[in-house]
Amino acid sequence: MPEAAIRLVDVLLILIVLLDLFALGTSRINAIIRAVALEGALLAALPLAIEGGHGLGSVAILLAAGTLVIKAIVVPRMMLWAIREASIRREVDPLLGFVPSLMLAGVGIGLSFALARQLPLRGLGAATYLVPAALSSVFCGLLLIVTRKKAITQVAGFLVLENGVYLVGLLLASVMPWMVEAGVLLDLFAAIFVMGIVIYHINREFSSIDTAKLTSLKD
């Protein structure tokens, strides 16, 4: 892989990790969704940047196009629709504050980079930040899921986590058929579609999408 292509991939991966941190550090749900959408656009550019040094193949182009449409356009639009219907704007009272979340994420990212250096990787995985960025995204996604109360923010956390899994999948892009990646994207689309409907109906019935209050439901 050419040096210029490696540097471009690394820049995209660093931007993805920074967007993960931004999502953890803001209370504005609209901003979190837009950060996830921008992250989806960066993920779409990665297959093109990785294959650019060898000539773009049809698999990389199709994977990039599918990622862009679903992760950067369709899913974020559905989430923005959900917050408009539910009339929510901010994550007011998270289980873990925004500053402690960022500090914990910093520790997790540091451990991800340290762990990636110990893995016996060759080629692309060893030459770029792909593996540490993937582990960092998984960790940040888990933090969003377990430390936030609003269901829509937890959905965003699931997206961030899945983005980390997607990055790991890029290591196997040369041997993994593109249909497998397309199947993951379709599963994600279906899951977010169902979650959007659930969030809308929960808010309409109970006037809240605070998941902490779901424990008080009775027959």
CB-based burial of residue 57 (10 Å sphere; 0-12 exposed, 13-18 middle, 19+ buried)?
A: middle
Residue 206 exposure: Cα atoms within 13 Å on the Cβ side: 16
What is the mean predicted confidence (pLDDT) over 148-174? 82
212 within some domain: no
Q: Which of 68, 84, 39, 55 is nearest to 199 (CA)?
A: 84
Q: 92 CB contacts (<8 Å, ≥6 apart)?
A: 27
Tokens of 21: 């941190």
Each residue of 177-215: pLDDT tens digit?
455 565 566 666 656 666 676 666 666 666 666 666 656
Number of domains composing the chain? 1
215 within some domain: no
202 within some domain: yes
11 within some domain: yes
pTM: 0.83
Each residue of 100-139: pLDDT tens digit?
999 999 999 999 999 888 876 655 554 578 889 999 999 9
pLDDT at 48: 86
Q: Bridge-partner residues for 150, per DSSP? A: 210
Is the per-residue pLDDT at 13 higher than 90?
A: yes
124 within some domain: yes
Each residue of 45-72: pLDDT tens digit?
988 888 765 555 677 788 788 888 888 9
CA 185 to chain centre: 12
Q: Position 4: which residue type?
A: A
Query: Could you list the residue range(s) of the whole structural domain that residue 10 is in?
Result: 3-206
110 within some domain: yes
217 within some domain: no
Dihedral angle over CA of 188, 80, 36, 139, nearest 10: -70
